[in-house]
Amino acid sequence: MTIAVDFDGTIVEHKYPEIGKEKPFAIETLIQLQEDGNRLILWTSREGELLEDAIAFCHDRGLDFYAINSNQPRGALFAAKAGTKVVADVYIDDRNLGGLPDWGTIYEIICHKRELKHRKHKKRGFKLFGR
């Protein structure tokens, strides 16, 4: 599978333009997903030096991405701009409807095809998707 992964709020706590504290088990889970044969794309709105800082942050922890903001592998003669639409089987982002599950749940959903149990909406008490 191709998996597009956001950086701020997903791999690290949201402290943009600074790099926030690493989210528990984010890097380890992403490395395991790669070892399982998945292609990871860093999918972020960071550009320039801020993007390079995010790439270096992950690299220093043993995580290197197949591509950055693009479906083209790193080093290909293609320069994607931040925010470019990437095509992926799965998108992991803290702005998902319902929020970001913990990384253990993310791994279970991707690798074991488990469904995310629908959470009740906190303010109105309804279940997502009418279930």
- The pLDDT tens digits of the residues spanning 9-65 come to 999 999 999 999 999 999 999 999 999 999 999 999 999 999 999 999 999 999 999
CATH of the domain at 34: 3.40.50.1000
Is 126's pLDDT higher than 60?
no
**56-76: buried (b, 16+ CB within 10 Å) or exposed (e) per residue?**
ebbeeeebebbbbbbbbeeee
pTM, to two decimals: 0.80
Tell me how many domains the chain contains: 1
Question: Beta strand pairing status for 2-5 and 90-92?
Answer: parallel
Q: How far, in Å, are 10, 21, 94, 103 from residue 15 at the CA level? A: 11, 8, 13, 19
Domain that holds residue 104: 2-130
